[in-house]
Chains A and B, each alone.
Chain A
Amino acid sequence: MAGKRRYVVVDDRDNVATVVEMLKEGEVIEAGMKNIKLLRDIPEGHKFALSRIPKGGYIIKFGEWIGRATAEIPVGDHVHIHNVEDIVDEVRKL
């Protein structure tokens, strides 16, 4: 698979993947055991949802919480500042 990888899932617990190259709306991506249809264009370096994330649910990358969904995020949708809020105060505690 030399040079063929198109997205990275950093940790098994993650519910988002980061794309290595721009992926197009409507593309079907193989992700583990399932196929995911992308609901929007995902620019290089951006994230898409590997599973449905309910409103108020945590976005998980690096196996850690990186933010909270401000709206329900369906599988294959772009996950970014339009549907995620920071949780810096929550996670800064010991």
Chain B
Amino acid sequence: MKTTFMGYRRHDGRSGVRNYVAVVPTVLCSVSVARSIAEAMRVNVFPHEGGCGQVGSEKEHTLRVLEGVVSHPNVGAVLTVGLSCEQIDATRLLKAAGDKPTRHIRIHDEGGNAKAVKRGVEMVGELKKEIKGADKTNISVDELTIATQCGSSDTGSGIASNPAVGAMADKLIELGGAVIIGETGGLYGAAGLMARRAATKEIGDKIIAMTDRLEEYYKRMGHSLREGNPTPGNIAGGLTTLVEKSLGGVRKGGTTTIRGVLSPGERISGKGLWVMNTSHGIGSCAAADMLASGAQILAYTTGGGNPTGSPLAPVVKITATKKTVERLEDIIDFDASPVLLGDETVKECGNRMLEEMVEVAGGKIVQAEKTRHTVFAIGKVAL
């Protein structure tokens, strides 16, 4: 197996698998201008609904994720787009970018929307030139952090594609890399099992506590996380209990010891398997949290064929459902159906998947990048 790839060495020592120009609105009021700039220049934009009028953990969470974006090893240059009166201080944000080329504009300073778009487009042009032909260096697979997620799940997810991602995770960790598993609501029914796999009792207690906080949040609104879970669709598909659903989901993390628990969007600080409390956030919010940690690739299992990509990292779409592979050619990257059909063991599939991850790290374009399908959102609730 190939254990190195050509990637980008960053000033902080981390390594990137892409060299994206990021257009980052500091506040929801500047999202539209940021989007126009990014679309005109075919670069990546990071829309969100925060940056002003936020307090406490919600405010900190927004800033943490945006800092995670501008400092991310897959990002080579940054343009921030502000209004001027917002809460988030772009200077602080740009500090996180370190020595990357950066620019900053504010809609008020530029004299309105159209002028801001025009100026922003010029600046992205400059940034593109500055990072063009950036040196790539040989990087070892042990520098990879892969985040994991599932969406539009079906029967094959819990018994084939998630275990295959788990086998890939075990192999990457054996080689010295890191893996993140998140989706707090999803692992609710498996929290006890996950806690028992933690390196220390403190880490285990944190896993239980983060799921308790989420359930308390729902209770304050007079609801429960267990309501309608498993969903009618899950039940029709053969899932019987919430525990079964959760156990199928957490298989993505593999079988190794859990090294720590991260807050939503917190930077990962070690190797091995980490759990991120993505809190209330689902889908693209959870993806943004996990990727903001510095993970360079997202391994995403899907039964029905979820199309979402990310502006921060290549998202590798994995399915064990042959029908989905055949029907959704521009969504699916990796066919894990041989596991379900008995033609490949979970371990063999995991090895093959890690080889694919190394190829993607070295520049192989995934379907979501090809189709420019990017979704980005920052969750409002960080418990």
Contact = CB atoms under 8 A, between A and B. Distances in A.
Interface of A: 1-5, 8, 10, 18-20, 43-47, 59, 61-62, 64-67, 79-81, 84-88, 91-94
Given A8-B160, A10-B159, A92 B211 contact: yes
B341 A88 contact: no
A88 to B, nearest CB: 5
B118 interface: no
Q: Quick one: which of B154, B191, B251 has the most chain A CB within 10 A? A: B191
A20 B340 contact: yes
B238 A62 contact: no
A21 to B, nearest CB: 10
A78 to B, nearest CB: 10
Nearest to B238: A45
B243 A87 contact: yes
A84 B342 contact: no
In the A-B complex, the 3 residue pairs with the smallest Cβ-Cβ separation, listed nearest first, are: A5-B342, A45-B238, A45-B155
Interface of B: 154-155, 158-160, 163, 188-193, 195-196, 201, 204-205, 208, 211, 226, 235, 237-244, 247-248, 251, 340-343
Contacts of A93: 192, 208
Contacts of A84: 240-241
B247 A61 contact: yes
A62 to B, nearest CB: 5
A86 B340 CA distance: 26
Q: Quick one: which of A45, A47, A84, A93 has the most chain B CB within 10 A? A: A45
A3 B240 contact: no
A79 B235 CA distance: 12
Given A87-B241, A88-B241, A94-B195, A20 B341 contact: yes
Given A1-B342, A2-B343, A10-B163, A80 B243 contact: no
Contact of A67 (B211, B238, B241, B340): B241
Given A8-B160, A44-B238, A91-B190, 13 more contacts: A10-B159, A18-B155, A18-B159, A20-B341, A45-B237, A65-B243, A66-B243, A66-B247, A79-B240, A80-B235, A88-B243, A91-B243, A94-B204
Main secondary structure of the interface of A (DSSP, over half): loop
A43 B160 contact: no
A43 to B, nearest CB: 7
A62 B251 contact: yes
Q: Quick one: which of A5, A46, A61, A92 has the most chain B CB within 10 A? A: A92
Contact of B238 (A65, A80, A85, A92): A80
Main secondary structure of the interface of B (DSSP, over half): helix
A85 B243 CA distance: 10
Contacts of A86: 189, 226, 241-243
Nearest to B155: A45
A44 B240 CA distance: 13
Contacts of A66: 240-241, 243-244, 247
A91 B238 contact: no
Contacts of B190: 91
A49 B241 CA distance: 16
Given A3-B341, A3-B343, A10-B159, A92 B240 contact: no
Contacts of B158: 62
A18 B240 CA distance: 11
Contacts of A18: 155, 159, 238
B235 A81 contact: yes
A5 B340 contact: yes
Contacts of A20: 155, 340-341
B187 to A, nearest CB: 10
A80 B244 CA distance: 11
A46 B205 CA distance: 34
B233 to A, nearest CB: 11
Contacts of B211: 92
Nearest to A85: B241
Given A43-B238, A79-B240, A91 B189 contact: yes
A8 B340 contact: yes
A15 B354 CA distance: 31
5 contacts: A2-B341, A62-B248, A67-B241, A80-B238, A86-B241
A59 B189 CA distance: 15
Contacts of B341: 2-5, 20
